[in-house]
């Protein structure tokens, strides 16, 4: 049981005293970058999906018919 208490104290000390937390401005700007990158990535995947779907409908399915 004392080992668990020791681990808990070390973890708390590390989180409170040793971790450098970002400022509110840094956090907000990082969040905006992640949101924009996620939207761009989703758009690229959507375009690839649409292009592949058009290819399948226009060429591949007509060959099989």
Task: Determine the pLDDT at residue 1.
Answer: 80
pLDDT in tens, 45-54: 999 999 999 8
Domain assignment present for 11: no
Domain assignment present for 1: no
Domain assignment present for 60: yes
Task: Determine the pLDDT at residue 65.
Answer: 67
- pLDDT for residue 61 is more than 80: no
How far is residue 27's CA from residue 17's CA, in Å, rounded to a whole number?
19
What domain range includes position 27? 23-65
Domain assignment present for 13: no
Domain assignment present for 65: yes
- pLDDT for residue 60 is more than 80: no
Domain assignment present for 17: no
| Number of domains, the chain | 1
pLDDT in tens, 3-59: 999 999 999 999 889 888 899 999 999 999 999 999 999 999 999 999 999 888 888
DSSP per-residue string spanning the chain: -HHHHHHHHHHHHIIIII--PPPHHHHHHHHHHHHHHHHHHHHHHHHHHHHHHHHIIIIIHHHH-
């Amino acid at each position: 049981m004392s080992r668990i208490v020791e681990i808990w104290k070390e973890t708390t000390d590390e989180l409170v005293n040793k971790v450098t937390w970002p400022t509110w401005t840094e956090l907000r700007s990082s969040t905006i970058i992640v949101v924009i990158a996620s939207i761009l990535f989703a758009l690229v995947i959507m375009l690839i999906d649409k292009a592949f779907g058009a290819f399948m409908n226009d060429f591949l399915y007509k060959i099989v018919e």
